[in-house]
Amino acid sequence: MKLKRKRLPPVTGTEQKEHNDHRRWNLRLYIAGRTLKAAAAIANLHVICNEQLKGKYRLTVIDLAKDPELARMHQIIAVPTLVRTSPLPERFIIGDLSNTERLLAGLDIA
């Protein structure tokens, strides 16, 4: 896991120092180029995070068009895919995250 994280490129300014705190939310969003769906997903995610997880999350946006190897490494085939790496268990949500209620349920934020 640590090795993989080292290779993660920092993308957004919302990144904070990493903690192993189980209440800290580690999120990764995989996109493939700046498409409409990608933009929508990022926007939708930002809304939720700022509303519900302010200061408690770390979001990494990974553009597979720039780093194609990561698709294989992380077994991603659909975009956009949101992965919650912590708290465990790992969760995968695919789509542009347009349904806020389902997103909250999917990420187990309530």
Partner 1 sequence: MEKKPEQKFRKTLPKSPTSISGLDEITGGGLPKGRPTLVCGGAGCGKTLLAMEFLVRGAMIHHEPGVFISFEESEKELSANVASLGFDLDKLVAQKKIWLEQIRVDRNKIELNGDFDLEALFIRIHLAIESIGAKRVVLDTIESLFSELPDPMVLRTELRRLFRWLKRKGVTTIVTAERGEGAFTRQGLEEYVSDCVILLDHRVSDQSSIRRLRIVKYRGSTHGTNEYPFLIDEDGFSVLPVTSLGLNYFSSHERISTGIPRLDTMLSGKGYYRGSTVLVSGTAGTGKTSLAAKLVESTCTRNERVLYFTFEESPNQLVRNMRSIGINLEPWVKKGILQFHATRPTLYGLETHLTTSIKLINKFQPDVVILDPINAFVTAENQTEVKAMLLRLVDFLKMKRITAFFTSLTAGGENMENTEVYVSSLIDTWLLLRDIEIGGERNRGLYVLKSRGMEHSNQIREFRLTNQGIELLDVYVGNEGVLTGSARLAQEMKDSAEQLVLKQEIGRKQYGLKRKRDAMEAQIVVLRSEFEAEESEALKVIGIEKARDERYSQNKAKMAKSRKGDAFHKDPDVVKSNSKRNRRSL
Name the site residues for partner 1 (rule: CB under 8 A).
30, 32-33, 35, 37, 40-41, 44, 64-65, 68-69, 71-72, 75-82, 89-99, 102-103, 106
CA-to-CA distance for 109 and 107, rounded, in angstroms?
5
Pick from 3, 9, 13, 15: nearest CA to 66: 9
Q: Which of 16, 98 has the CB closer to partner 1?
A: 98
Tokens of residue 103, six digits: 């997103």
**Residue whose pair of structure tokens reads 């490494």 in the numeric block:** 73
Beta bridge partners of 62: 30
Q: Which of 30, 57 has the CB closer to partner 1?
A: 30
Give least dist CB 94 to partner 1, A.
Answer: 5
CA separation, residue 104 to residues 6, 52, 56, 60, 61 (Å): 28, 9, 15, 18, 19
Give least dist CB 56 to partner 1, A.
Answer: 21
CA-to-CA distance for 108 and 84, rounded, in angstroms?
10
Q: Which of 24, 37 has the CB closer to partner 1?
A: 37
Give least dist CB 42 to partner 1, A.
Answer: 12
Q: Which of 13, 77 has the CB closer to partner 1?
A: 77
Give least dist CB 38 to partner 1, A.
Answer: 9
